Amino acid sequence: MDPERLPDDTEEMRAVGMGAVYTATSGRGVLLEQDSLRDAALVTRYFAPYAEALTHLVDQRIAATGRAVIIDLHSYPKAALPYELHAGTRRPEVCLGVDDFHTPDWLLSAAQSAFAGVGDVDMPFAGTYVPLRHFSKDNRAVSVMIEIRRDTYMYEPGGEMHGGAGEVVKALTQVVRSVDGEYGTRSVPCFEP
């Protein structure tokens, strides 16, 4: 399961078996045979509760502070994996994903500035996570996706952390402080369930 993928045919990663329900491995091997009934049951059992919990958390933050800021954090390997649809895209140390409706300029600028010390910052990936109930409807839900290339903070594949991990933590801390600076002390960090 990937709770951040769209649960329907609009999800482009379904083309390689990696929609909300994974039917393929990262090497493009068969993980599960096609079965729409099983997939619907998995979405009901795993995807929906995650989406509901995160939506509830965003609703709570909006009620408490007037907004919710989502920092959608991921990592990716230096070398493209076989399932990647856009494997030929540049792979800078930090990729930012934005949404025209949900990513204000100040948040994009804060992320760009904070991660400049980590390495090259670019935006080859599109989009950022916003609960579907808020998506394109409620701009009080603010979001930016930050994808960090793994070799900037660890020895690949799956090795130990190195000194770059501290730089990544400093950059993330700076982004969170920028949120606090933009919205004041009412913005208390919450973490997804």
Q: Is residue 191 part of a domain?
A: no
Over residues 175-189, the pLDDT tens digits come to 999 998 888 755 455
**pLDDT-based confidence at residue 155 (cuts at 50, 70, 90):** very high
Please indicate, yes or no, if residue 192 is contained in any of the structural domains.
Answer: no
Q: How many whole angstroms from its chain centre is CA 44?
A: 21
Residue range of the domain that includes 59: 12-183
Domain count, the chain: 1
CB-neighbour burial class of residue 8 (10 A; exposed 0-12, middle 13-18, buried 19+): exposed
> What pLDDT, on the 0 to 100 scale, is given for residue 193?
43
**Residue 3 is assigned to a structural domain of this protein:** no
CA separation for the pair 13, 19 (Å, rounded): 5
In a domain, 1, yes or no: no
Flag whether 37 is in a domain: yes
Q: Domain of 160: which CATH number? A: 3.40.630.40
23 within some domain: yes
Q: Does 177 fall in a domain?
A: yes
Do the bridges between strand 141-149 and strand 94-97 make them parallel or antiparallel, or are there none, so unpaired?
antiparallel
**To which residue do tokens 């009934």 refer?**
37
Tens digits of per-residue pLDDT, 77-94? 999 888 888 888 889 999
Q: Which residues pair with 143 in a beta bridge?
A: 70
